[in-house]
């Protein structure tokens, strides 16, 4: 069954703890944390301080998506704050293997993120070393954007690579996921779906999660 990772970017930050518990009770599998620096993407969100604050609130794995330049400088802080997964953009990493090894040196699961226009082939040299590939289906920076359907074949491409070289690889999709687009992603081989607005803009988060999962 596909896993669901609600993105707290669309949560009410004035009551973040409750918002996280609400999706945990609603059947979420991961909590997706969007870290933006105002350089790699045109928005600023949260830092390791918030990861540290929410760590004791939930038993779910914290899936930390770094949309930042120079990720190496901040990986230790996010690892120590309690991240279970740290994903870095290939577009932001000059020495990708070094960055992935750094994440793993803290015992944290490591993942690589590709923007919509970045080809799947870029993960080939590193696919056996990582735990997750995150494919963006919007250009990162904001919640609530429209799903870019032309990324769909890339999901199938990564799935074929994973079957061959790393069958345990999680294939996560992020951006514009709702109950309709979720179905398309699952068909292509997605194993984890991030959803921000499609979950947090709904009153009944349990029902929203079920619909995205296809139940
Ligand atoms: C986009 C973020 C996403 C975002 C998804 O830059 O990486 O995780 O929160 O939001 P929705 O599901 O609303 O597109
Ligand atoms: Zn994200």
pTM of the model as a whole: 0.98
Q: What is the dihedral of CA 207, 213, 214, 215, to 10 degrees?
A: -50
Quick one: pLDDT at residue 181? Answer: 98
In the chain, what percentage of residues exceed pLDDT 90?
Answer: 100
Q: Which ligand is nearest to the CA of 43?
A: 1
User: Closest Cα partner for 158 from 166, 148, 150, 147?
Assistant: 166
Range of the structural domain that residue 93 is part of: 3-213
Model ipTM? 0.99
Atom of ligand 1 nearest to the CA of 144: 13
For residue 191, the domain's CATH number is 3.20.20.70
pLDDT digits 0-9 by tens, 4-27: 999 999 999 999 999 999 999 999
- Reply yes or no on whether 22 is catalytic: no
Residue 48 has a pLDDT of 98
The total of other beta-carbon atoms located within 10 Å of residue 46's CB is 18
| Ligand 1 pocket member 115 (CB < 6 A) | no
Structurally, how many domains does the chain consist of? 1
pLDDT tens-place string over residues 160-198: 999 999 999 999 999 999 999 999 999 999 999 999 999
* 215 band by pLDDT with thresholds 50, 70 and 90: confident
Calculate the alpha carbon distances from 207 to 13, 80, 88, 130, 131 in Å.
Answer: 21, 34, 31, 32, 29
Taking the centre of ligand 2 as the mean of its atom positions, its distance from the CA of residue 14, in whole angstroms, is 20
**CA pair distance 13, 207, nearest whole angstrom:** 21
Mean predicted confidence (pLDDT) in 128-144: 98
Residue 151: pLDDT band with limits 50, 70, 90: very high
CB atoms within 10 A of CB 212: 25
| Residue 131 annotated to the active site | no
């Amino acid at each position: 069954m596909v896993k669901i990772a609600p993105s707290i970017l669309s949560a009410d930050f004035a009551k973040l703890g409750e918002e996280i518990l609400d999706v945990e009770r609603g059947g979420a599998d991961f909590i997706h944390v969007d870290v933006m620096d105002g350089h790699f993407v045109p928005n600023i969100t949260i830092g390791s301080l918030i990861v540290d604050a929410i760590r004791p609130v939930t038993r779910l794995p914290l899936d930390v998506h770094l949309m930042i330049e120079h990720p190496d400088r901040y990986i230790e802080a996010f690892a120590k704050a309690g991240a279970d997964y740290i994903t870095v953009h290939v577009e932001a990493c000059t020495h990708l293997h070094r960055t992935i090894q750094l994440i793993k040196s803290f015992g944290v699961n490591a993942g690589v993120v590709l923007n919509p226009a970045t080809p799947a082939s870029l993960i080939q040299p590193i696919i056996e070393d990582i735990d997750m590939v995150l494919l963006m289906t919007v250009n990162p920076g904001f919640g609530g954007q429209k799903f870019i359907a032309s990324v769909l074949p890339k999901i199938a491409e990564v799935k074929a690579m994973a079957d061959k070289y790393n069958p345990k690889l999680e294939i996560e999709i992020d951006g514009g996921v709702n109950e309709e687009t979720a179905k398309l992603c699952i068909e292509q081989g997605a194993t984890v779906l991030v959803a921000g607005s499609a979950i947090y803009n709904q009153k009944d988060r349990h029902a929203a999660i079920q619909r995205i999962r296809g139940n």
